[in-house]
Structure 1
Amino acid sequence: MSDLVVVARFSFPHEAHIARGLLESEGIPAFVADEHTVNMQWLYSNAMGGVRLAVPRMHAQKAHEVLNDDFSEAVDSEFELHVEKCPSCGCQDLEPYTKGKQAAFVVFILLGFPLFFYKHGLRCKSCGAFWRP
């Protein structure tokens, strides 16, 4: 077999295996190196240069092209993005909000134990409306 060329480096072995699966789906043989060392001693990952993904030299150019492809348009067309809107004013400027958190804190200070009667939801930054999606 021809010599191997490192086409990518990853901090975690699972990332390297995802990339290896992508390359193999394109017919490019790929090999993951140093995954066991990083699994046993993850602090060595940066010192060793991470988990290496290698391919035969004759497939290196195609491997770089496959790994650098941008699939974001395919993902966007597959999954329609749902943008949450305020039910009161229709604004899209929303933030996660916990209603009743301040009252729960006061009860905790006064009684010495927490009563969890707060609600998680979204709040509109424009009109202040709160709801639970």
Structure 2
Amino acid sequence: MSKWSVVHTVTFLQDAYMIKSYLESAGIETLIPDEFTAQVNNFYTTAIGGVRLMVRTEDLESGVALLKEGGYINPENSVTDEEILIVGADSSTDMTCCPFCGSANIGKRNTPGMAMVILYFLLSALFPIFRSANKCFDCGKIWKFKKIRQ
């Protein structure tokens, strides 16, 4: 019996089906273990970490190469777990610029908190409970301002 490895994870089941058909057209056998969970309720995919697409371990390298070639995996824009830095701020701090590189090309990054994940799972409802952080699009750093008491 052969072992299976996760080749890609997506948010929506229809994306997993597209990738599955792309890999199977190249002769790589695939498996979607979270298929029925995602069919029951789309919001469960966030709670379980996405819909996993698996290939046989011996086909993993060729599967990743095919996904890069097909544009399903983009190594330059891959999402990684980044550390949120805490930056001290007082009344004179310019919060419209990145404190690390000085760029004004910043934006808000909203991530769901643990309460959001629990609400997704228990109530299958979307509530706007997000934790906000700033992200610089030039240097890639993510931070929060924390007020310093003087």
TM normalised by structure 2 equals: 0.45
Q: What runs of 5+ residues in structure 1 fail to find an aligned partner?
A: 72-133
In 2: Cα distance, 1:40 partner to 1:61 partner: 32
In 1: Cα distance, 2:19 partner to 2:70 partner: 13
Within 5 Å, give how 1:13-92 maps onto structure 2: 13-70=13-70
Which one has a larger percent helix, Structure 1 or Structure 2?
A: 1
What are the Cα deviations for residues 31-88 of structure 1, in whole angstroms up to 9, with x where unaligned?
A: 11212111212211112011110000000000001011146xxxxxxxxxxxxxxxxx
Q: What runs of 5+ residues in structure 2 fail to find an aligned partner?
A: 72-150
| Paired residue secondary structure (1:49) | coil
Larger Rg: 1
User: Cα distance 1:38–1:70, how it changes in 2: closer, same or farther (>3 A)?
Assistant: closer
In 1: Cα distance, 2:60 partner to 2:35 partner: 20
User: Cα distance 1:23–1:70, how it changes in 2: closer, same or farther (>3 A)?
Assistant: closer
| Aligned equivalent of 2:2 | 2
| Paired residue secondary structure (2:7) | strand
What RMSD over aligned residues (CA atoms) do the two structures have, in Å? 1.3
Structure 2 letter corresponding to 1:25? S
TM normalised by structure 1 equals: 0.50
| Aligned equivalent of 1:89 | none
Structure 2 letter corresponding to 1:36? F
- Superposed structure 1 runs of 4+ greater than 3 Å apart: none
| Paired residue secondary structure (1:52) | strand
Aligned length: 71
Which structure is richer in relative contact order (CA contacts within 8 A, separation 6 or more)?
2
Structure 2 letter corresponding to 1:18? M
